[in-house]
Amino acid sequence: LDFYADWCVYCKTMEREIFPHPLVQEKFDGKMLLQADVTSNTELMDEFGLVAPPTILLFDAEGTELCNHRMIGNVTVEQLLERMNQAGM
């Protein structure tokens, strides 16, 4: 679950460079990537206890958040792939 806002520079970079990267696309094969637009509504961020976008939350197949694997701020392709590997994804 990717928390995104129109005013977030890092969010735009991730949307343009990180998520479309071939290695990331390959890693997400068979998985669902959802984007929550929190541009004008932070209620969902409050529900998850988040401060600001970009934040990526990972969930297992049953929908339970893998809390030790939250990614906050600008991440690289390598960091995203490493965190997904650590989460067993």
Q: For residue 2, name the pLDDT band (cuts at 50, 70, 90).
A: very high
**Rounded-to-integer distance, Cα 65 and Cα 3, Å:** 14
Output the pTM of the full model.
0.87
What pLDDT, in 10s, does the model give residues 23-79?
A: 999 999 988 889 999 999 889 999 999 988 999 999 988 989 987 889 999 999 999
Looking at residue 22, its pLDDT comes to 97
Looking at residue 80, its pLDDT comes to 95
Looking at residue 79, its pLDDT comes to 95
Looking at residue 61, its pLDDT comes to 87
Token pair 């637009």 is at which residue?
37
| Strand, helix or coil for residue 22 | helix
